Amino acid sequence: AVLDVFNEEPLPSSHRFWPHPQVYVTSHTSAPTNIEAAVRVFAQNLERFLKNQPLLHVVDFAKGY
């Protein structure tokens, strides 16, 4: 199994999944980050922030993500 999301995060270092030979635990990332795209979004949001405009791709903590 490849597992990415848990009720408790980070998963405790003593959890039985870490040493299990048939379990692969990821760091709650479903895909690698494209650095160029991330920098582009950051630059756009910095420009918008400095102009007091709404930011793009805002996290909605009320939705749980």
H, E, C per residue of 1-65: CEECCCCCCCCCCCCCCCCCCCCEECCCCCCCCCHHHHHHHHHHHHHHHHCCCCCCCCCCHHHCC
* pLDDT 10s digits, 20-51: 999 999 877 767 789 999 999 999 999 999 99
Q: How many domains does the chain have?
A: 2
pLDDT value for 8: 87
pLDDT exceeds cutoff 70 at 62: yes
pLDDT digits (tens, 9 = 90+) for 48-59: 999 999 999 998
In this structure, are 15 and 26 located in the same domain?
yes
Residue 2 bridge partners (DSSP): 24
**Same domain as 46, residue 26:** no
| The pair of three-digit structure tokens given for residue 5, joined into one six-digit string | 């999301």
Residues 42 and 64 in one domain: yes
Assess whether 40 and 17 both reside in one domain: no
